[in-house]
Amino acid sequence: MDRNRLGRPTIRDEIFSILRDDRASQTSLSERPRAAYPTNSPPREEASLWFKVRKYLEADEHKPGEPMPFVTCPLCLTAEIEVAGLLSTSADAEPELGVYLFCGHMLCKACWTQVRDTWDVLHTDAFGGRYAVPPRCPICRHDLVHEFCRCIEEATPIPVDEAELPTLGELCSLTKQENGVIERTCEVCLDLE
């Protein structure tokens, strides 16, 4: 240990001594109790697009170590979206209902309601006409309207009931990534013709 002119340890040596003592008192991750870290849960991976979640749910088997997807709303960043067949990431968190858009992005129901309300205010022209500027996905900006009637392509609810899993193909509309298309006219306007 170096000494200054007065015979005392230098400030540098005192700092290193404090840091050394502090490090010695800390426990490493491997020495901490394992109860806080569940070892039997599958690896998780955040999914932002519905077709990836759907692909996981429709698979007959999963490879060892294949991560199970989980969904967090990309707008509020706090809501974990409930999906049938997927475990919640936290025992404390209450998953929320969600929807997916034609572009594949998933939103919690609360954020979707806010987006729809904003569209109704911002995208109606001065004469009450529909959507002078078409409503778009708040994430990727993909148009979400039918070409001819200009009605909004409705969001599809994400299934939360385990009984719905075998019929995902019938319940869930195809997204852009799955070669789905937005029909030129919505069903309501077709019925009026």
Task: Report yes or no on 100 lying in a domain.
Answer: yes
Residue partners of 145: CB distance under 8 A and separation at least 6: 131, 134, 135, 151, 152, 153, 182
pTM over 0.85: no
- Cα 150 to Cα 135: distance, rounded to the nearest angstrom: 9
Tens of pLDDT, residue by residue over 36-79, are 434 466 788 899 999 999 999 888 888 888 888 999 999 999 88
Q: Which domain holds residue 98?
A: 43-192
Task: Report yes or no on 27 lying in a domain.
Answer: no
Residue partners of 72: CB distance under 8 A and separation at least 6: 46, 78, 79, 80, 81
Task: Report yes or no on 33 lying in a domain.
Answer: no
Pick from 151, 138, 139: nearest CA to 182 = 151
